[in-house]
Amino acid sequence: VGSTQQGYTWIVCKSDNLNNYVCWSQNSEVDGTSGSFKAVPGKYFIKLYSLNNSSSVDYTIKVDGIRQR
Protein backbone atom coordinates (compact mmCIF):
# COMPACT_ATOMS: atom_id res chain seq x y z
CA VAL A 1 0.00 0.00 0.00
CA GLY A 2 1.40 3.39 -0.81
CA SER A 3 0.80 6.91 -2.05
CA THR A 4 2.66 9.82 -3.57
CA GLN A 5 0.69 12.32 -1.49
CA GLN A 6 1.42 13.71 1.95
CA GLY A 7 -1.03 14.96 4.57
CA TYR A 8 -2.66 11.69 5.47
CA THR A 9 -2.01 8.39 7.21
CA TRP A 10 -3.55 4.97 6.74
CA ILE A 11 -4.01 1.57 8.36
CA VAL A 12 -5.02 -1.89 7.12
CA CYS A 13 -7.24 -4.14 9.28
CA LYS A 14 -8.53 -7.67 8.76
CA SER A 15 -12.33 -7.78 8.64
CA ASP A 16 -12.67 -10.05 11.68
CA ASN A 17 -10.67 -7.69 13.94
CA LEU A 18 -10.98 -4.02 12.98
CA ASN A 19 -9.13 -2.89 16.13
CA ASN A 20 -5.93 -4.79 15.31
CA TYR A 21 -3.85 -3.19 12.55
CA VAL A 22 -2.00 -5.61 10.26
CA CYS A 23 -0.22 -2.78 8.42
CA TRP A 24 0.13 0.99 8.69
CA SER A 25 2.08 3.87 7.20
CA GLN A 26 5.48 2.39 8.07
CA ASN A 27 7.82 4.19 5.67
CA SER A 28 7.59 7.96 5.43
CA GLU A 29 9.37 9.34 2.39
CA VAL A 30 9.58 12.74 0.73
CA ASP A 31 7.17 11.60 -1.98
CA GLY A 32 4.65 9.79 0.25
CA THR A 33 4.29 6.76 2.51
CA SER A 34 4.33 2.99 2.12
CA GLY A 35 4.02 -0.24 4.07
CA SER A 36 3.72 -3.96 3.47
CA PHE A 37 2.63 -7.18 5.18
CA LYS A 38 2.14 -10.88 4.50
CA ALA A 39 -1.59 -11.49 4.27
CA VAL A 40 -3.48 -14.65 5.08
CA PRO A 41 -6.66 -15.38 3.09
CA GLY A 42 -9.54 -13.13 4.08
CA LYS A 43 -11.06 -9.69 3.69
CA TYR A 44 -9.12 -6.54 4.56
CA PHE A 45 -10.08 -2.88 4.96
CA ILE A 46 -7.92 0.17 4.30
CA LYS A 47 -8.74 3.20 6.43
CA LEU A 48 -7.38 6.55 5.25
CA TYR A 49 -7.12 9.48 7.66
CA SER A 50 -6.58 13.02 6.38
CA LEU A 51 -4.25 15.23 8.41
CA ASN A 52 -5.26 18.42 6.60
CA ASN A 53 -9.02 17.99 5.97
CA SER A 54 -8.44 16.91 2.37
CA SER A 55 -11.30 14.86 0.94
CA SER A 56 -9.26 13.16 -1.80
CA VAL A 57 -6.24 10.86 -1.60
CA ASP A 58 -4.68 8.87 -4.44
CA TYR A 59 -3.13 5.55 -3.42
CA THR A 60 -1.97 2.25 -4.89
CA ILE A 61 -2.25 -1.35 -3.74
CA LYS A 62 0.15 -3.99 -5.00
CA VAL A 63 -0.70 -7.67 -4.45
CA ASP A 64 2.02 -10.29 -4.98
CA GLY A 65 1.73 -14.03 -4.66
CA ILE A 66 -0.52 -16.91 -5.57
CA ARG A 67 -4.23 -16.78 -4.88
CA GLN A 68 -5.40 -19.78 -2.87
CA ARG A 69 -8.86 -21.22 -3.36
pLDDT tens, position by position, 7-34: 777 889 999 999 889 987 777 665 667 7
Which pLDDT does position 25 carry in this prediction?
78
Q: Are 63 and 6 in contact (CB under 8 A)?
A: no
**Pick from 51, 53, 52, 49: nearest CA to 13:** 49
**Pick from 25, 20, 10: nearest CA to 40:** 20
Mean pLDDT, range 37-50, rounded to an integer: 85
Q: Which one has a higher pLDDT value, 53 or 68?
A: 53
Which pLDDT does position 5 carry in this prediction?
58
Residue % of the chain over a pLDDT of 90: 10
Which pLDDT does position 62 carry in this prediction?
80
